[in-house]
Amino acid sequence: MEQALQHYRDTIVSATANKTPLRLRGGGTKDWYGQALNGAILDTREYAGIIAYDPTELVITARAGTLLSDVEAVLDKNNQMLAFEPPRFGAASTIGGVVAAGLSGPRRQAVGAVRDFVLGAVLMDAKGEVLHFGGQVMKNVAGYDVSRLLCGSLGTLGLILEVSLKVLPKPFAETTLRYEIGKADAIEQLNKWGGLPLPISASAWHGGVLIVRLSGAQAAVSSAKQKMGGEEESQAAGFWEALRNHDNEFFGATTGPNALWRLSVPSVTPPLALEGEHLVEWGGAQRWLRTELPADAIRSAAEQVGGHATLFRGGDKSLGVFHPLAPAVGKIHRHLKNAFDPSGIFNPGRMYTEF
């Protein structure tokens, strides 16, 4: 592994000296996410392997190039999981890419996002120096915020070398319930349930059907099922797996003006008056929209309810994939970029075109 580190160091130092861009990439399963790709590829997959894992400590540490499937296979043997259910988007997905993209799956509404499970990280900066942040236990908070900062940074701050993640035991019992219900009523009902001690671990509404997953102790799941009613979903495992990896009909190929948008809004927000096909997740807090509407109309609607909108797939990326930053927030982003990557060599323009 030292040879791989030296290769990374030499490549980065040379790129910094010549101010030539580098495209940090693992398996490339999320190349479509974000703005245009730029620079010579620096592949993380040669730096792979699980460094430490003690099931009793509920922590796993792995090099960035380690396949997500390898991490999940090891956890599965001990009946544990990455509770935030990161989307795979392909067999080549790496654990470094999971953190860099910062995307979470259906269980995020119950357990939190990727950043909530990152305990520590090792980063190589634009000088080729290896920096350590955080640790392998929750009580070690030194540099903890920097580790979280890397989540969703899309490789713009430096080369992630290692990550330490908190893991959780798999639930003892799970069941999925199905309801025939309109969108407005579904959002209202989800928020009512959200205020009750129910073991809801995921939810999704689309096309007049609400699907809700219950996870936890058998007694808790059985009790909640009796209180909530509904019909059991016979294809539950396949449904949640397809939703997690965007393999279902809703997330089909998106080309041309029919773009896929992800809106983050307060969960109690009533249905937005936006033309297109909708899917609601995370208890109402995440709204997916397939539409031909212009970006400004979508972002304006999200802003009016205190949310934001991301152009996830398709559409015109020249208008900006991520929601425009407020001036003060944009200033913070620029300072962070300058602190970690003053020469601007790491994935330039991947998040925002100006840095």
Tell how far CA 1 is from the center of its chain.
28
What does the alpha-carbon distance between residue 245 and residue 235 come to, in Å, rounded to a whole number? 16
Give, in degrees to the nearest 5, the angle at Cα 150 between 149 and 152.
Answer: 100
Strands 200-206 and 277-281, by their bridges, are antiparallel
pLDDT value of position 32: 94
pLDDT value of position 75: 98
pLDDT value of position 143: 39
Beta bridge partners of 259: 291
Ranges under pLDDT 70 in the chain: 135-144, 253-257
pLDDT value of position 256: 57
What does the alpha-carbon distance between residue 96 and residue 336 come to, in Å, rounded to a whole number? 20
Cβ distance 350 to 27 under 8 Å?
Answer: no
> Would you kindly state where each structural domain of the chain is located, as residue ranges?
2-169, 173-245
Correct CATH for 173-245 of 1.10.260, 3.40.50, 3.30.310, 3.30.70:
3.30.70
pLDDT value of position 1: 83
Cβ distance 83 to 63 under 8 Å?
Answer: no
What H or E segment, with its residue span, contains residue 288?
A: strand 286-291
Two tokens, residue 301: 């609607």
| CATH number, span 2-169 | 3.30.465.10
pLDDT value of position 275: 95
What does the alpha-carbon distance between residue 317 and residue 54 come to, in Å, rounded to a whole number? 43
Cα-based distances in Å from 240 to 210, 228, 337:
13, 19, 36
With 0.85 as the threshold, say if the pTM is over it: yes
pLDDT value of position 139: 42
Q: For residue 309, which of 297, 317, 319, 298 has the smallest C-alpha distance?
A: 298
